[in-house]
Amino acid sequence: MWRTAYKKISYSVHAVILETPKSGTQPKYWRTIGTSFSIKGKPNPLLITNAHVVCNENGIPYDEKHLALAAFMPESKAGVAGVGIRFIEKSLDISVFEVSKEAVDIVPATFAKPAVLEIGAAVASVGFPIPHQPILRPGGGSLTITKRLATGFISANDMKPEFDRESAELTHYEINMLSYPGLSGAPVFDVNGFVIGMNHGSILTSGGNVAAYAYAIRGPEIIAYLERNNIKIEISTT
C-alpha cells in the first residue's frame, strides 16, 4: 500500500544533525536531532522542520556552524550540507532553512491541496530515529543514520496538544501511529505521496521510547505560513 508513496517522497526527507562539542575526555561528535523535508529545489534548496529541532531546550537557535543536513539524493548520492536558518515561527513550531550546494540535487516534496483530512484517513511518515546514545570511538563519534517508515490513520483532526506551550492554541492532527524521538519535523503524507502535515511530537509513557500516537501540524496551516513568507511550493492539482 505504501511502497509507491514512500518511493515518491523518500528523497525529499533528510536528517538534521548537530555537532556536540568535546566535553572532558569525550570527543566531539555529530548526532541526529530531527527530520526535515525539502520544499524548494535548485538553485537555493529550502527545507522545513520543527522550530524545536533547531533550537535548544531554552528555545535558543543552535549556532549554525554546529548544524548540518545529512542529505540523501537519487542515484545513491549523499552528502553533508551546511544549514542557514531563514525563518523560525515558534507559535507554529516551524522553521525553514536553506542548505549549501552539497544538497542541491534533493527532491522537493509535493503538498496535497490544502484541506483538513477526515478521521480515519490513512497516512504515513518517514524520519530518522535518534539513537539512545552515540557510538564513541578513539577518533571521534560514529554517526549512524537510519530512515524508518511509520504508518497509521487520523484519529482526530482538531486536537490541541498540551506538550508545547508555544503552539498550544494551534489545531493539530492526532495520528494513531508509532512515534519516536527523531520523527519531529518529518512529513506526514497520504497514499499518493503528497504532504498533508508535519510531525510535531508525541507524549511518551513513563520510561518509554516509542509512543503509540503522534501530533502533526496540519497542511493548510503550513501552506498558509509559507505563502505569507513568499515561499513557493509544489501543490498537487489532483
Domains and their CATH numbers in the chain: 10-108 (2.40.10.10), 111-225 (2.40.10.10)
Question: How many other C-beta atoms are found inside a 10 Å radius of the C-beta of residue 87?
Answer: 16
The average confidence (pLDDT) of the chain is 88
**pLDDT at position 169, please?**
76
What is the mean pLDDT of the segment spanning 190-208?
83
What is the mean pLDDT of the segment spanning 97-126?
95
Alpha carbons within 13 A on the beta-carbon side of 233: 30
Burial of 127 (0-12, 13-18, 19+ CB in 10 A): buried
Are 176 and 27 spatial neighbours (Cβ–Cβ below 8 Å)? no
**pLDDT at position 25, please?**
67
H or E segment and range at residue 228: helix 219-228
User: Measured between alpha carbons, how far is 94 from 75 in angstroms, rounded to an integer?
Assistant: 30
pTM of the model: 0.91
Residue-wise pLDDT tens digits, 203-217? 765 555 667 788 999
Residue-wise pLDDT tens digits, 134-192? 555 555 555 678 899 999 999 999 988 766 667 767 899 999 998 888 999 999 999 99
